[in-house]
Amino acid sequence: MVQHEKIPLETLYDQASRCRGCELWQGRTNLVFGVGNPHADVLIVGEAPGEQEDLRGEPFVGRAGQLLNEMLGYAGLKREDIYIANVLKCRPPGNRNPQAPEIQACSYFLREQTRTIDPKYIVTLGNFAMKFILKTDKGITKMRGQVHQAGRFQVFPVYHPAYVLRNGSQRPVLQADFERLGQLLNG
């Protein structure tokens, strides 16, 4: 199969800022395209921007982001080391779940971001990101904490930090998964 050239992140950002593929652009304050090291070994994929992310134009800057930062530490990672993006680049109203046509309309951007960054590991946070990347119907509880293959990428699903904020008993599970990620990266 003939592969097209990697599309620069700046070009993708520009395209995303003008995207009208679904209705979500109308309600957003800012596009939340993604941030971090464009040559990262680890790409973290969340679900969709929340209120704080929409206001700042940056993923994971609210409470879930604080927990994510702490968890990155257990893998020996800092935010500057990784790239973070979401399945959706615009905030769904009231933080409702992403809808299938929105995911479909936005899929080009995450797919091309992934090709351009070309990470070793894709760490998916929660069910939406895992299902999007792995094209599976299996639930996260069965899949988390193990490496799965998607094309040439190693995919490591973990719980979403927002879920762990609501279910504190799962915090050690998330911590153990990030420690395992650290071992994989150093192995």
Separation between Cα atoms, residue 33 and residue 55, nearest integer Å: 13
Separation between Cα atoms, residue 186 and residue 90, nearest integer Å: 34
Total number of residues that touch ligand URA (CB under 6 A): 11
Output the smallest distance, CB 2 to ligand URA, in A: 34
Q: Which is nearer to ligand URA, 152 or 166 (CB)?
A: 166
Give 64-125 as a DSSP string: HHHHHHHHHHHTT--GGGSEEEES-SSPPGGGPPPPHHHHHHHHHHHHHHHHHH--SEEEEE
Whole-Å CA distances, 28 to 60, 91, 95, 181: 16, 6, 11, 33
Q: Judged by CB under 6 A, does residue 59 bind ligand URA?
A: yes
Question: Do 133 and 124 meet the contact criterion of CB atoms below 8 Å apart?
Answer: yes
Beta-sheet pairing, 148-150 with 153-158: antiparallel
Question: Do 12 and 116 meet the contact criterion of CB atoms below 8 Å apart?
Answer: yes
Q: Which is nearer to ligand URA, 168 or 187 (CB)?
A: 168
Q: Which is nearer to ligand URA, 27 or 183 (CB)?
A: 27
Residues in region 115-154 near ligand URA by CB under 6 A:
none
Output the smallest distance, CB 175 to ligand URA, in A: 18
Residues in region 35-54 near ligand URA by CB under 6 A:
46-50, 53
Residues in region 83-112 near ligand URA by CB under 6 A:
86
Output the smallest distance, CB 161 to ligand URA, in A: 8
Q: Judged by CB under 6 A, does residue 60 bind ligand URA?
A: yes
Bridge partners, 122 (sequence order):
43, 155
Any alpha helices (H) in 9-80, and if so which ranges?
9-17, 51-56, 63-74
Output the smallest distance, CB 62 to ligand URA, in A: 6
Among residues 42, 64, 105, 140, the one that binds ligand URA under rule CB under 6 A: 64
* Residues within the interface to ligand URA (CB under 6 A): 46-50, 53, 59-60, 64, 86, 162
